Structure 1
C-alpha cells in the first residue's frame, strides 16, 4: 500500500497511544508501516512536524459537530472534549499549551473558541478570556494525566497511595505546624477528577463572565 501523510500520522498516533511520545520516531513509524525510514522524509521533515500533525488529527475529535449559541456552553464543551481526547490519547497532555497548531483542525478549534465570544467584548478582552480558560483546562488535564501515570508507575491507586502515606501524614499534621492543611485533610470532600475539572471550569467561566461586556451598538 502506498504511503501518505494520513497513514503515517495514524501509525504515529497508534505508537503514541501505546507507549507515549517517546515511542514515536520516524524509524519506528516506518517499521510499523513496513517501509524504509527514508521514504517517510518525502512526507514528513522532522519529528516535531509529525507531532504537529498528530495533534491536528486529534483536534478533529475535539471540535463539536454544532456550535452552541451560548458562549459558556461552547467553551465548556470544548474544554470537556479536550479532556476526553487527552484521556484517550494521554500524550496529548504533553503537547497542550505550546505553540498553536496551524493545521485545519487546530484552526477550526481556535475559530470555534473565538467565535463563541465574538461580539461580547473587545478583541483584547476576548483573547485574554480565551487564554484564561485554556490555561485552566490545560493545567487541569496535565495534572490528571500525571496522576494517572503515577498510578501506573507505582501500581498504587489514589486511595492506595493515601493509605500508604497515611501514617506519615498523620504524624506531620499532629505537630500542629499545618493547621490549614489539617482542616483540608480531615474536613474537605474528596471528589473525582471529572467533578473537580467541571467545578473549576465553571468557576473560571464565572470569572470570565464578569469581564465580558457587550460593546455599545
Structure 2
C-alpha cells in the first residue's frame, strides 16, 4: 500500500496540457480516428470523467490539439526579407504536419466547420499577414496573397492528382492503349512524371518538391505584384 501511495503522490496532477499532449501522442500513433476520451484516460491512468473537468468535449479537445501543434511552428526569422521569412515559416509548418500526419485533415475540417480558427491558428495567420505588411504589401494585395496561398500557409495543399499506387485496378478503366489515344497529353504527363519512393506519402510524385515548387512560384508572383504596386 505504501508503494502505491508514493506512486500516486508522485504522479503529475491532471491538467489540460497533459490531456492535450496525450491526445496528440495518441493521434500521432494511430490517426485522429484513434482518439477517444476512454483511450486518453486509460493512457493517463484516470477515469474518463476526470478529463471533462479540463476539456468539455471532443471539439474542444481537437481545437486544443491544433493549438498545441501549431505552436511548434518556428517564429519569424529575425532580419529576413519578407519572402525568406514567409518561406521559412511555411516550411516549418510543413515539418510540423509531417511530425503529426493527422493534423492537416483536422485543421481543414475544423476550419470548414467554424467561422473562426483556433487562437493559435489566428495568431499564426496574423503574424504571416504582419510579415507581408512589413514587407511593403498594400492591404488589398495581402488579401489576395492569403487567398492564393490558401492552406499552403499552414503547410499543406489540396492536390489535383492523387497517387494511385496500391489501389485495386479499376475494372472500368480504359486499356492503356485507348487511354493514350484518347488522352495523349495526360498520358504523357503520367509517364514522364518523376517518382520518389521515399516520399512521405509513399510511392508517387515527390510531394516535398511539388509543395516547394508551388510555394516558390507563388512567392515570386507576389514579389512581382508587390514591386508593381
- TM bin, normalised by shorter chain, reads 0.7 to 0.9
Correspondence 1:136-155 to 2 at 5 A? 136=152, 140-141=156-157, 143=159, 154=166
Quote how far apart the aligned CAs of 1:195 are: 1.3
Q: How many residues align?
A: 200
Give the helix-richer structure, 1 or 2.
Answer: 1
Paired position in structure 1 for 2:226: 212
Paired with 1:214 and 1:111, the residues of 2 have a C-alpha distance of 24
Judging changes above 3 Å, is the alpha-carbon distance between structure 1 residues 28 and 189 closer, same or farther for their aligned structure 2 residues? closer
Paired position in structure 2 for 1:42: 53
Quote how far apart the aligned CAs of 1:95 are: 2.2
**Deviation by residue 1:40-90 (Cα, 9 ceiling, x = unmatched):** 111101111111111111112113363453111111112211211111101
Paired with 1:189 and 1:33, the residues of 2 have a C-alpha distance of 45
State the TM-score, normalized to the length of structure 2: 0.73
Paired with 1:102 and 1:41, the residues of 2 have a C-alpha distance of 19
Paired with 1:10 and 1:133, the residues of 2 have a C-alpha distance of 29
Q: Which runs of 5+ in 1 are unaligned?
A: none
1:118 to 124, 133, 141: 133
Is the Cα–Cα contact under 8 Å of residues 145 and 222 in structure 2 kept in the other structure? Answer: yes
Judging changes above 3 Å, is the alpha-carbon distance between structure 1 residues 197 and 115 closer, same or farther for their aligned structure 2 residues? same
Q: Which runs of 5+ in 2 are unaligned?
A: 1-10, 196-204
2:118 to 81, 102, 107: 102
Deviates more, 1:79-88 or 1:132-141: 132-141
Judging changes above 3 Å, is the alpha-carbon distance between structure 1 residues 170 and 138 closer, same or farther for their aligned structure 2 residues? farther
2:176 to 164, 170, 178: 170
State the TM-score, normalized to the length of structure 1: 0.77
SS across alignment from 1:212: helix
Quote how far apart the aligned CAs of 1:213 are: 5.0
Q: CA RMSD in A?
A: 3.1
Paired position in structure 1 for 2:199: none
Correspondence 1:55-66 to 2 at 5 A? 55-64=66-75, 66=77
Paired position in structure 1 for 2:98: 87
Is the Cα–Cα contact under 8 Å of residues 63 and 109 in structure 1 kept in the other structure? Answer: no
Paired with 1:139 and 1:5, the residues of 2 have a C-alpha distance of 26
Paired position in structure 2 for 1:180: 185
Is the Cα–Cα contact under 8 Å of residues 41 and 48 in structure 2 kept in the other structure? Answer: yes
Paired position in structure 1 for 2:206: 192
SS across alignment from 1:63: coil
1:13 to 19, 24, 30: 24
1:134 to 150, 167, 182: 150
Q: Which of the pair has more CA radius of gyration?
A: 2
